[in-house]
Structure 1
């Protein structure tokens, strides 16, 4: 039957690695089209629709954009935290030998872009707040582009890219916590710490139900939001307290929670984030605007910074004898993979919002331009290098 066949086709599509990246791309493209058409007023109005609750005489509300960036993205970081914990406990980062090379590569892949961004913006103290924007790697987009290459990609390359991206996310979490925290409010912060202790107690006694973790997590989010620490970090705190290894016949709640969150985050939250944050109005902008130090620093950071930082640190590790290249990986493949790590879309835009929350519209648009332009070029160059140069030469070597 046609309906059943269509359902099966859609189910197969949403199960693929590339599906999330395609949804992100469509949402970002739709935002840019609306921001540059007669619908721009409707688009702006939609993003400022208030969402909240009324409790007696107290009103708690956020604009739709802030609800997405501060609220729904907390669920994104909850998923990221769960993935990081699983990899650290029993995955590709569970041993020192497994984690060393991708950890060093991720560190290089964050330092390189930050240094290049600083090179272009050193004399502008306001622009320097955005030094961390090009340090991020978008897991959904980068794995989505890699999946376009199909079975010709060695498994070790996929594992290496995933490990680097996971560690990169851990670094982004640390950067947000340390460098993008505003003035702290003592009472909400203390309440947040008490709730985290409560979550830790649930973990200690191996509470299997995920409900108490999510309930306390919701309260924690409100307290963190009021404390001055960015609210999305509440998701990470909850993730690290959800137990993974259980004694006896108890079943861990982490895998099921991670699975359930994955679909919602991939096909709802991240596309909504892209739609709310990728709308750049190009009217009055000339191509020369990309030469402004801020977007240029982001673009070159994502391109050259990631490529040099990751490939360079891996080269140093291999030449020093401290590590070896991943199985079935060449230096050309490593360069192509490092270019894919330059797709920083989601987390880069997120950090850009934090860096210039109080900035003017021009600066925010500069961030969006740099992230979109740099991520697009990195994705295209990485794909082309792997597809036509690195992987064919790897096959010939065999």
Structure 2
């Protein structure tokens, strides 16, 4: 399929994707900072009261986390499908390095978390919290460095984070699903089967998919499986095909590309910032420095900061040295190390998994502190390493 697409179109699509994610990451940083300020200001009581106010059957926070985030997961699913079939992950040679990096970058943080919390069976439920990379945040940081970071590393980071998101979706489905309602699950299966029929019949209009997608969300929500996974299931049924009968057809005219393009900016600048504002706020009143030494907090922070670096950089180093892969074009080892550090920014998906893993608000606060600490350390150290490595590369080139 990609052979029919002008090269400029591919570059433009990728550039738009990176730009949207990077800009959205900068907005997310600002929103998270504001949420922390509000949660520790005279507005604290109003902030938490608003989040727990009920609108119909769900609280506002649940509407954000279960319904609004389903749109985010829909976009994640669309990105995964597009990249696997018609993008940077469309061949095994392109998948090896980011795929291995994502796998090792999930395993190492999980092991570090388990090491810190090995004596606490309850805390072990949060083992998956530090395994996720926040693509918007990470690309937001890397965008600040401009030309000091080669485009190949930005593509590597985006591809790794997309595979990482797929891993997180699988983890949520397998490990954070309880109390299944089999009737509702069967209903979700029927709706999904109809979506697949639409796909096989080459239905190119988007509205039938979106109407059934809303029904799918209701069924999945009622089934006990986390409702956001309905977004991923819907995404996988959206056709990635050229519109037949149009000689100048491009991927932008396929239903998947149309929907992905329509969702990018709303998700980056509305959905994720709302999620960040609703969930990043943590009250620091009553907390002491001892919280940073608690196994749960340390496990999350160290998992993100050290685990991602060891996992991503370690597997890339091994694969390159044994000849199974090559470093991204124009990138040096220092820049790869900095990029691996940025993978430790785990804000959005880590917060999401933390909320699924623990119901206790106090435990959730400790999780949030660990995520913030690990993400800040990863972001600052990764940016500094990339800046220094980029400067050295420029001097050598000169």
Tell me the TM-score normalized by structure 2: 0.92
CA contact (8 A) 2:20 2:265 kept: no
State the Cα deviation string for residues 211-259 of structure 1 (Å, max 9, x = none).
0111100000000001011000000000000001246337411111111
Give the structure 2 partner of residue 367 of structure 1. Answer: 367
Give the structure 2 partner of residue 316 of structure 1. Answer: 318
Deviation at 1:17, TM superposition (A): 4.8
Deviation at 1:316, TM superposition (A): 1.2
State the Cα deviation string for residues 109-152 of structure 1 (Å, max 9, x = none).
00010000000001111100100000000010100111101122
Deviation at 1:28, TM superposition (A): 1.3
1:145 pairs with one of 134, 138, 141? 141
Q: Decide whether aligned partners of structure 1 residues 18 and 92 sit closer, same or farther in structure 2, where only a CA change above 3 A counts.
A: closer
RMSD over aligned CA atoms reads 1.5
CA contact (8 A) 2:21 2:135 kept: no
Give the structure 2 partner of residue 394 of structure 1. Answer: 393
2:27 pairs with one of 23, 29, 34? 23
Deviation at 1:207, TM superposition (A): 0.8
Q: In 1, distance between residues paired with 2:240 and 2:85? A: 8
Q: In 2, distance between residues paired with 1:41 and 1:285? A: 17
Tell me the TM-score normalized by structure 1: 0.92
Deviation at 1:88, TM superposition (A): 0.3
Matches within 5 A, 1:138-177: 138-177=134-173
Per the alignment, in what secondary structure is the counterpart of residue 298 of structure 2?
Answer: helix
Q: In 2, distance between residues paired with 1:200 and 1:18? A: 33
Give the structure 2 partner of residue 7 of structure 1. Answer: none
Deviation at 1:30, TM superposition (A): 1.7
Give the structure 2 partner of residue 114 of structure 1. Answer: 110
Matches within 5 A, 1:346-385: 346-356=348-358, 358=359, 360-385=360-385
Deviation at 1:192, TM superposition (A): 0.5
CA contact (8 A) 2:102 2:160 kept: yes
Q: In 2, distance between residues paired with 1:276 and 1:248? A: 43
Give the structure 1 partner of residue 10 of structure 2. Answer: none
Deviation at 1:87, TM superposition (A): 0.3
Q: Decide whether aligned partners of structure 1 residues 80 and 381 sit closer, same or farther in structure 2, where only a CA change above 3 A counts.
A: same
CA contact (8 A) 1:78 1:239 kept: yes
Matches within 5 A, 1:206-355: 206-246=202-242, 248-249=244-245, 251-355=253-357
CA contact (8 A) 1:17 1:147 kept: no
Give the structure 2 partner of residue 40 of structure 1. Answer: 44
CA contact (8 A) 2:26 2:141 kept: no
1:178 pairs with one of 159, 170, 174? 174
What are the ranges of 5 or more consecutive residues in structure 1 without an aligned counterpart? 1-11, 53-60
Per the alignment, in what secondary structure is the counterpart of residue 363 of structure 1?
Answer: helix
Matches within 5 A, 1:3-22: 17-22=21-26
CA contact (8 A) 2:185 2:219 kept: yes
What are the ranges of 5 or more consecutive residues in structure 2 without an aligned counterpart? 1-15, 247-252
Deviation at 1:15, TM superposition (A): 6.2
State the Cα deviation string for residues 33-76 of structure 1 (Å, max 9, x = none).
12111111110111022223xxxxxxxx1100000000000000
Q: In 1, distance between residues paired with 2:387 and 2:126? A: 33
